[in-house]
């Protein structure tokens, strides 16, 4: 299934039904009077977050959604039928933005959460509504109110507990494949990951968390270089970031700083999130290089850095336990 995390849709709620002018005419009823009914309510446009979806691809080609008009009133004080709502089902974590792409209208961050995004019009009054002691035969009925219509942006931000960040070829996909059942594309060239991947990490029978791998960042990503920073929104909701640094390259400190600068350039508090740093590709380093690069990176980071190998699994269990502990502490504090 193709991954799509942004879509623009047009929605139009149903117009209200029209009220009618009618009079009661029955045998043996001397003064019939008005009995025109009111119109029915138009259908609403509802957006609902459901489980089992992880992409907005359904809204790539079907972009226009319109609810039906309410039924017109009828004689004998019969109210028109209300129209059914149109429900747009989206993945959990979808944000609804106005046409300006900046005004947040709703954030559907829980399964089952829903919002009426366009209100259906109320039905118009029939002439029975205007009957008074001084106006016993009103000849007035109203048209139904129009339903709301608007353009909307749907933007998906995946729900994950931990986010994987790093330069291209830092070993993020290999790490995700090693710790979960996810099967991302793995190759020895940059940008093998073209869209975010989710994996569930199970530490034991009762403890698990979700980890997200996003495409690698390069210098200038917040200005559009490489794949840009458009996928960073998928780690905004994470409790902790796992920053993987390629230990096989000669200058891991520069690699770490490059990603940190891109996180700061993106904003939204990503550079302030708890961060665990791991020097990856332990199996590709000599003991001397391992020691010198680890010390240099720890001086730059300011706290201990863990050594791991996504290929052999060395150091991976310790990192997963640290992630689980940090996630629990962050969620509790938040």
Q: pLDDT digits over 71-106, tens only?
A: 999 999 999 999 999 999 999 989 999 999 889 999
Query: What pLDDT is stored for residue 189 in this prediction?
Result: 42
pLDDT of 277 over the 70 cut: yes
Confidence (pTM): 0.76
Strand 104-108 relative to strand 94-97, pairing? antiparallel
Strand 149-156 relative to strand 114-118, pairing? unpaired
- What is the distance between the alpha carbons of residues 59 and 154, in angstroms, rounded to a whole number? 9
Q: Where in the chain is the domain with CATH 3.40.50.300?
A: 162-333
Binding residues for GTP: 166-173, 191-195, 213-216, 280-283, 309-311
Query: What pLDDT is stored for residue 176 in this prediction?
Result: 84
Backbone φ, ψ for residue 263 (5° rounding): -65, -45
- What is the distance between the alpha carbons of residues 97 and 103, in angstroms, rounded to a whole number? 6
Q: What angle, rounded to 10 degrees, do the helices at 252-266 and 287-301 form?
A: 30
Q: Where in the chain is the domain with CATH 2.70.210.12?
A: 1-156
Q: In Å, what is the CA distance from 32 to each residue of 11, 19, 22, 150?
A: 43, 19, 10, 44
Determine what percent of the chain is predicted with pLDDT higher than 70.
90
Of 3.20.20.70, 3.40.50.300, 3.10.20.30, 3.40.50.2000, which CATH number belongs to 162-333? 3.40.50.300
pLDDT in tens, 51-78: 888 788 889 889 999 999 999 999 999 9
- Does residue 199 contact residue 176 with C-beta atoms inside 8 Å? yes
Domain 1-156, what fold?
Spo0b-associated Gtp-binding Protein; Chain: A, (2.70.210)
Could you tell me the pLDDT band of residue 191, with boundaries at 50, 70 and 90? very low
pLDDT in tens, 257-266: 988 888 888 8
Binding residues for Mg(2+): 173, 193
Number of neighbouring beta carbons within 10 Å of residue 103:
10
- What is the distance between the alpha carbons of residues 74 and 22, in angstroms, rounded to a whole number? 8
Binding residues: 166-173, 191-195, 213-216, 280-283, 309-311
């Amino acid at each position: 299934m193709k991954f799509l995390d942004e879509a623009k849709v047009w929605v139009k709620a149903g117009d209200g039904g029209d009220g009618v002018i009618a009079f009661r005419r029955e045998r043996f009823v001397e003064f019939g009077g008005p009995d025109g009914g009111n119109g029915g309510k138009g259908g609403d446009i509802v957006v609902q977050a459901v489980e089992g979806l992880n992409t907005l691809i359904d809204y790539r080609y079907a972009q226009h959604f319109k609810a039906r008009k309410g039924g017109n009133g009828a004689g004998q004080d019969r109210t028109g039928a209300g129209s059914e709502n149109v429900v747009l089902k989206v993945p959990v974590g979808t944000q609804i933005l106005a046409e300006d792409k900046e005004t947040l209208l709703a954030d559907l961050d829980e399964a089952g959460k829903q919002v009426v995004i366009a209100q259906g019009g109320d039905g118009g009054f029939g002439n029975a509504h205007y009957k008074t002691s001084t106006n016993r035969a009103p000849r007035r009925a109203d048209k139904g109110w129009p339903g709301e219509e608007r353009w909307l942006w749907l933007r998906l931000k995946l729900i994950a507990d931990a986010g994987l960040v790093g330069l291209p070829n830092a070993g993020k996909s290999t790490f995700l494949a090693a710790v979960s059942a996810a099967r991302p594309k793995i190759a020895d060239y940059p940008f093998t990951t073209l869209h975010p991947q989710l994996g569930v990490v199970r530490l034991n029978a009762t403890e698990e968390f979700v980890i997200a791998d996003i495409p690698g960042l390069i210098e200038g990503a917040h200005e559009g270089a490489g794949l840009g920073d458009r996928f960073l929104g998928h780690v905004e909701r994470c409790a902790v970031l796992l920053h993987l640094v390629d230990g096989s390259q000669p200058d891991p400190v520069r690699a770490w700083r490059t990603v940190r600068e891109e996180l700061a350039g993106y904003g939204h508090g990503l550079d302030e999130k708890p961060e665990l740093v791991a020097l990856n590709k332990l199996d590709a380093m000599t003991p001397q290089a391992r020691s010198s690069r680890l010390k240099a990176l720890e001086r730059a980071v300011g706290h201990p850095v863990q050594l791991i190998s996504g290929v052999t699994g060395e150091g991976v269990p310790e990192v997963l336990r640290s992630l689980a502990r940090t996630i629990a502490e962050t969620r509790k504090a938040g």
